[in-house]
Each structure stands twice: as structure tokens, then as C-alpha cells.
Copies of this chain bind each other. A is one copy, B any other.
Amino acid sequence: MAKQNIYDNEIFFAGYKGIRDNEANANNLFEMPALFSMMPQLKGKRVLDLGCGFGEHCRKFVDYGAEEVVGIDISEKMLKVAMAENCHPKIQYINMPMEDISQLQGRFDIVVSSLAFHYIEDFKGVIGNVYKLLDEDGIFIFSQENPLCTCHSGGDRWTRDENGAKLFANLSCYGVEGERESAWFVDNVKKYHRTFSTIINTLIEAGFSIEKMLEPVPTAELLEKYPEYKDLLHKPDFFLIKAKK
């Protein structure tokens, strides 16, 4: 199955880095707090980060006491930034698509992946390999685009009033799984839509038990500061799962 390396596209990379450099981005406000809220005690733990990108999470795992962190990413460009900005003797960065993690040596206490799985065609294969790489009672935590977003199949994502304000989200083809072409900085970014049920059942069939699911939406407090995020009350951007081997 296809392994997609869109982050090494220069325009995509520049656009993505621009978003991440804005501190009030949705990742910082919603995805990261939710991801870390599910994290177990990291002291002395071996952590694997699938699609580690700029290595910000890897660095945090070490700050929180992890003994050994391996970050893998298919994109050389991303890892160059990671090595420049989030270098640490306890972190090893490996340029590898996550479809190839069966080649990794050793076992891990925790496997994490942040906002990468919606780019992955062979979800089942990756999940099976994560299971094998985890020690008994190991924890697997990941975030991805919410299935209410990945389902989108063309056209405007929103129905708008006469002033262009968003009224509600367009839910199209939620029940039709598979590849989606979308434009995000560049054309032809491939995403793979799976329903909530398929994601959950794939984990269970691999042997995992589900411990928690999150779909972060803004609190009233956050909306006061950042009213532009009120649309997430219609359609959360993110979906996170904590599972146990």
C-alpha cells in the first residue's frame, strides 16, 4: 500500500510550519492538551513516537522523565528541524515510514502518534505492528483528524449564511471509507477516511483494550478568548484514543 510523504513537499512544509508557528493553533489549544491528558507516568519509560515531525512531543517525553525516546518520520525535512530544535541524548530520530516499524529493534512501554494516521492507508498493518512493539500492559495513545472531518468528499465543508458565516458542517460520505484527495497548501494530499467503528474495531481485533476516547471541543472559557473556534462545537477537528495491550 502507498506510503505518503507529503511533508517533504516544499510548499506543504512551509505552509504547515507557518501554522505550527502560530501559538494559538488548534493543535496547541485542543489536540496537545488532550493527548497529554491521557499520558501515563513517563518516568523511566521507553517511548516510540510515530510521525514525530518536529520532535516537540519527543522532547516533552524526555522532559517528563522518559528514559529513551525513538521518533520516526517519513519526512527528512521534518526530522532536520527535529534534530536542530529538539535534539537530546535520550532521543533517537529515525527517517522511516511508519509502515516499516516492524524493522525496529527493542520493545516500548508507550507508543504515541500525533495527527499522522489519517495519512496512512494501511492502518490495520500499522496497528498490528504497534501491538507487537509494545511490552505487556503497554500503552498506545494516538490522535488523528476526526472521522467527521476525514469523511469530507469535495465541495465546501460548511453551509454558510448570506454573510458567509458558517451555519453547520456538511457531512458527506461518512459511511464510505477509503482515500480522499484534499487540498491543504498543495493539491492531492491523500487522506484515508475510516469511521469511528472501523478505528475502534481495528484496535480491538489487534488485541488492544480501549481505555478512553476524546473529541476535544472548546470550553466556554476558551471561546471567550478565541471565539473563532466556536465551529468546533459543530464538528470537532480531532479524535484521540488511549488503548492498552
Interface residues of A (CB under 8 A from B): 148, 155, 159, 167-176, 195-197, 200-201, 204, 209-215, 217, 232-236
Q: How far is the CB of A183 from chain B (nearest CB, A)?
A: 19
Set of chain B residues within 8 Å of A211, measured between Cβ atoms: 204
Picked from B169, B200, B217, B234, the residue with its CB within 8 Å of the CB of A210 is B200
Instruction: Kindly report which residue of chain B lies nearest to residue A210, judged by CB atoms.
Output: B210
The answer for the CA separation of A176 and B218 in the assembled complex, in Å, is 10
Q: Within the assembled complex, what's the spacing in Å between the Cα atoms of A37 and B96?
A: 40
Chain B residues within 8 Å of A200, by CB = 200, 210, 213
Question: How many copies of the polypeptide does the oligomer hold?
Answer: 2
Instruction: Verify B209–A174 contact, CB threshold 8 A.
Output: no
User: Could you list some 15 contacts between A and B, CB below 8 A?
Assistant: A148-B171, A159-B170, A168-B173, A169-B172, A170-B171, A172-B234, A173-B234, A174-B235, A175-B217, A176-B233, A197-B213, A201-B212, A204-B210, A209-B209, A209-B210
Given contacts A159-B170, A196-B196, contact A215 B148 (CB under 8 A): no
Per the bound structure, the CA–CA distance linking A228 and B217 in Å amounts to 34
Task: Select from chain B the residue with minimum beta-carbon distance to A154.
Answer: B168
Given A200-B210, A233-B176: A168 and B170 within 8 A (CB)?
Answer: yes
* Given known contacts A159-B170, A170-B170, A175 and B213 CB-to-CB distance under 8 angstroms: no
Q: In the complex the two chains form, what is the Cα distance from A235 to B235 in whole Å?
A: 14
Set B159, B170, B197, B236: member contacting A175, Cβ < 8 A = B236
A204 to B200, CA, bound (A): 13
Contacts of A209 in B (CB 8 A): 209-210
A5 to chain B, nearest CB (A): 31
A217 to B: closest C-beta gap in Å: 4
From B171, B176, B195, B214, give the contact of A171 (CB < 8 A).
B171
Interface residue from B175, B196, B235 paired with A234 (Cβ < 8 Å): B175
Contact across chains for B215 and A175 when beta carbons are under 8 A apart:
yes
Q: Which residue of chain B has its CB nearest to the CB of A233?
A: B175
**B170 and A197 form a contact (CB under 8 A):** no
Q: Which of A168, A170, A212, A215 has the most CB of B within 10 A?
A: A168
Residues of B with C-beta under 8 A to A234: 171-175
Nearest B residue to A205 by beta-carbon distance? B212
A159 — which chain B residues lie within 8 A by C-beta? Answer: 159, 170
